Structure 1
Amino acid sequence: MLSSFCKNYSNKTVQRTLIRYNSTVSNKNKNGTAIVFMNMGGPSTIPEVKDFLYQLFSDYDLIPISKKYQPMIAKFISTYRTPKIEKQYAEIGGGSPIKYWSEYQAKKVCEALDKTNPDTAPHKPYVAFRYAQPLSKDTYKKLLDDGITRAVAFTQYPQFSYSTTGSSINELIRNKKDLDKDDQIAWSIIDRWPKNEGLTSAFAENIHAKVEEFKKEDPNFKEEDLTILFSAHSLPMDVINMGDSYPAEVAATVYNVMEKLNFQFKYRLVWQSQVGPKPWLGAQTADIVEQLNTPGKEKLILVPIAFTSDHIETLFELDLEVIGEAKHPKNIKRCESLNGSETFIKGLVDECDHHLKNNTPFHKNLDLDFVLAKKDPNGNAPLRKFFTK
């Protein structure tokens, strides 16, 4: 009886040991999870500007001109605008820092996820830009070459718009059809995160820092003399009128930041970067700054609320144009961008952690976003077929 017990015990011990061993080997050999940061991107060097503009104006999802003639029109516009835009990038140091910050943030997120989410480790950082290097198609090829079988597309537009995140999704689907016919990679997506704790807390921290600067510079500073202008990239009204969720989600971010500031200051949501003759969502940032930038005590803080790092819209448009050309620039400060903020990066980690553990392919509203944009999710954009658990 004792011999039988020992034999059974020994067999069970061996079985448990083999299970643990096989599990360890399997864990070491698996390819883990790719975390792919998606964004519009920006030219890292001045010679890249023309191609960046061409890619941007070729995007029918962003600028719907003509599906048939869009490439030809994009070539003309990019050639015409390149000299002007090259000068702007030269004034901010010779290129956009968005690639640097995207790679830095993605790397930090993956390092943290390896510790918090061992079941999906190792986590591998990738960057996929819509209009600049590394282009999303090149990133997809690298994912395949690296043997990736599980990937999370993580939009770096915190607030969803069909023109931005929607365009990146469409490009991702096209790349999969062209490059990944065997379905090597299983995808899910984080397609919006407007009230992410790290996102809104980091903005609140950066606003506090600018308030303290005003206090040091002006002993007579009073909180009632300060207005915070949350500036987001505008969109054409024909996009908004289709029911795009972007304005509401940007407003949600703003409100959440103000809650963290206990609504101590006056504030307003304004919109920047309007181009062309079409009506755009307003009021325009530059117009409101001009109205409020009086010679009195009024102080202004500009907050780039829809951007996760510095690029041309912050470093040139806000710093050099809006503030640099203001009548009283000393009364205006631009809140630091999120860039390497540890609070912000923790928020990115938390967003990925929740997504991986919740095991949801995409946000419930994504189907509706594509329907309202007149892209049938069961036809042109097969979301449920593409994004899996």
Structure 2
Amino acid sequence: MPEALDATPYDALLLLSFGGPEGPDEVVPFLENVTRGRGIPKERLKEVGQHYFLFDGISPINDQNRTLLDALRKDFAEHGLDLPVYWGNRNWAPYLTDTLREMAADGRRRILVLATSAYASYSGCRQYREDLAGALAVLEGEGLGLPRVDKLRHYFNHPGFVEPMTEGVLRSLAELPEEVREGAHLVFTTHSIPVAAADTSGPAEGHGDGGAYVRQHLDVARLIAEAVREETGTDRPWKLVYQSRSGAPHVPWLEPDVCDHLEELHGAGAPAAVMVPIGFVSDHMEVLYDLDTEARVKAEELGLPVRRSATVGSDPRFAAAVRDLVLERAAAESGRRVTRCALGALGASHDLCPVGCCPARTPKPAAAGTDSPYA
């Protein structure tokens, strides 16, 4: 039997994700949840949902989260970490509020949260914290005893997140035709967000010029590019680009778009490219449609050989990284010695989001931060 690991004071882990439809009839209701309060007509949502309908109305994200749950539970059991793992979504079943209600009924009093977003931004961090606060408010209104909820730090530069992606790039390079492999460029992709949201991502003292969101992605891209160079002996050109833009066309979003960059590479004579989706934990719809469908079609039109490397998904090293983050936070909360594991130039991220971190356009209560109403 493995030696028991101590997660005290925590008694549960919550996997908190975005959610997605699992059938055609769920697509529009799901998009209504995602866009609630924006006044978008149902007919427009049907148009937006076309990429889901191409895949029978099924987003892969829920199945990928089920696989990650299994990987986490397996890793915890194999390493003697007695910590039950629950799952809740922001926008589709199983809903976050229902899961927190279940956890409270099970007697869970100190909960750690793993969000399926590795980087700092409003949509990737604070919005999850706002939803946690909203769910806790519902439970409070129902007269239930509220658990304390803490969010694990950003894990973009943890070795268990970076190393599987590096191996994915090496595999994708090996899949390219030999005659173009040596000159292949690396195209690191992440979700585009409004420039204003990027500039205010992370703690206030670092706001401006892309904020923490861009800095963190660039640091991961450098780490992977350097590791690939060391492994292959080739120093490959690389660039951070963006995908999955939405919203009003007059609002500036982060650029360049991945398809525009592929055109630029082709025009400059690049022989091939590997698209590396560093901004995504798993191969969900933005990867499946925006890269595997749209970007691949663009590359085929250009005659540019491309491959798309794998996301981390349920890789055992990622599950081990989550265990490491759990034990790190438990040690910090208990006053024990803490060793924080992080690669690159930025170091380990903060445990508690400070005031002014990734602010909302309209201020809302947010749990699991220094400004939390549920300390």
In which range does the TM-score fall when normalised by the shorter chain? 0.7 to 0.9
The letter of the residue matching 1:238 is A
Q: Work out whether 1:210 is the aligned partner of 2:168.
A: no
Q: TM (normalized to structure 2)? A: 0.80
Letter in 2 for 1:100: D
Once residues 296 and 241 of structure 1 are traced to their aligned partners in structure 2, the CA distance between those partners, rounded to angstroms, is 33
Determine the C-alpha separation between the residues in 1 that align with 2:361 and 2:57.
39
Counterpart residue number, 1:322: 295
Task: Name the residue aligned to 2:127.
Answer: 167
- Residues 1:139 and 2:71 are matched in the alignment: no
Deviations 1:274-320 (A, max 9, x none): 22211101111111011113595611111111111111111111111
Residues 1:178 and 2:152 aligned together: no
Does the C-alpha gap of structure 1 residues 177 and 117 become closer, same or farther in structure 2, counting only changes over 3 Å?
Answer: farther
- Work out the CA distance in 1 between the residues paired with 2:120 and 2:74: 26
The residue type equivalent to 1:283 in the other structure is: P
- Please point out which of 309, 330, 335 is paired with 1:356: 330
Q: How far apart are the structure 1 equivalents of 2:50 and 2:295? A: 17
Which position in structure 1 is the counterpart of 2:79? 116
Letter in 1 for 2:31: L
Provide closer, same or farther for how the CA distance between residues 232 and 306 of structure 1 changes in structure 2, counting only shifts above 3 A.
same
Matched, 1:188 2:155: no
SS of the counterpart of 1:96?
Answer: coil
Aligned match of 2:35 = 57
**Contact between 2:161 and 2:317, CA under 8 Å: does it hold in 1?**
yes
Query: 1:340: how far off?
Result: 3.0
Distance in 2 (alpha carbons) for counterparts of 1:81 and 1:247:
31
- 1:80 corresponds to 2:40: no
Cα distance 1:102–1:254, how it changes in 2: closer, same or farther (>3 A)? same
Shift of 1:84: 2.8
Q: Which residue matches 1:260?
A: 227
How many residues are paired up? 337
1:373 offset after TM fit, Å? 4.5
Which residue identity lines up with residue 162 of structure 1 in the other structure?
A: Y
- Which stretch has the larger CA shift, 38-47 or 155-164? 38-47
Q: CA separation of 1:320/1:177 partners in 2, compared to 1, >3 Å: closer, same or farther? A: same
**Per the alignment, do residues 282 and 125 of structure 1 end up closer, same or farther by CA in structure 2, a change over 3 Å counting?**
same
C-alpha distance 92-349 of structure 1, shift in aligned 2 (>3 A): farther
Percentage of identical aligned residues: 20
SS in 2 for 1:195: coil
Instruction: Measure, in 1, the Cα distance between the counterparts of 2:63 and 2:115.
Output: 16
2:280 is aligned to 307
Comparing 137-146 with 361-370, greater Cα deviation is found at: 361-370
1:239 to 188, 197, 200: 197
- Contact 2:266-2:304 within 8 A present in 1 as well: no
Q: How does 1:18-97 map to 2 (within 5 A)?
A: 33-58=11-36, 70=37, 73-74=39-40, 76=41, 79-97=42-60
Superposed displacement of residue 256, structure 1: 2.2
3-state SS of 1:126 partner:
strand
Cα distance in 2 for partners of 1:315, 1:335 equals 12
What is residue 280 of structure 1 aligned with on the other side? 253
Q: Which shifted more, 322-331 or 297-306?
A: 322-331
User: Does structure 1 retain, via aligned residues, the 8 Å contact 2:126–2:359?
Assistant: no
* Residue 113 of structure 1, CA deviation: 2.4
1:193-229 residue CA offsets vs partner (Å, 9 max, x unmatched): 1101111001000000011111xx33x3452x11111
Distance 1:33 1:262, change over 3 A: farther
DSSP 3-state at the match of 1:271: strand
Cα drift, residue 52 of structure 1 = 1.4
TM-score by length of 1: 0.77
2:150 is paired with a residue of what secondary structure? strand
User: In 1, are the aligned partners of 2:126 and 2:358 still within 8 Å (CA)?
Assistant: no
Say which of 279, 284, 291 aligns to 2:264. 291
Give 1:103 shift.
2.1
Matched, 1:331 2:331: no
Aligned-partner residue type, residue 103 of structure 2:
L
Give the distance between the partners of 1:152 and 1:241, measured in 2 at CA.
28
Counterpart position of 2:186: 228
* Aligned-partner residue type, residue 132 of structure 2: L
Q: Distance in 2 between matches of 1:48 and 1:228?
A: 36
- Aligned twin of 1:14: none
Distance in 1 of aligned mates of 2:267 and 2:121: 35
Cα distance, 1:249 vs. partner? 1.7
Query: Partner of 2:62 in structure 1?
Result: 99
Deviation at 1:271, TM superposition (A): 0.8
Q: 1:286 to 1:156 in 2, by over 3 A?
A: same
Following TM superposition, the consecutive aligned residue runs of length 4 or more in structure 1 with deviations greater than 6 angstroms are none
Task: Give 1:282's aligned amino acid.
Answer: E
Cα separation, 1, equivalents of 2:22 and 2:112 = 25
CA distance in 2, matches of 1:169, 1:188: 9
Change (3 A) 1:329 1:107: farther
Across the aligned residues of Structure 1 and Structure 2, the Cα RMSD in angstroms comes to 3.0
Aligned-partner residue type, residue 47 of structure 2: K
2:34 and 2:146 map into 1 onto residues whose CA distance is: 29
Cα 1:231/1:144, change in 2 over 3 Å? same
The structure with the greater share of residues assigned to helix is: 1
Encode CA deviations 1:124-171: one digit per residue, 9 max, x unaligned.
222222122222122222222333222111111100112232111011
The equivalent residue for 2:88 is 128
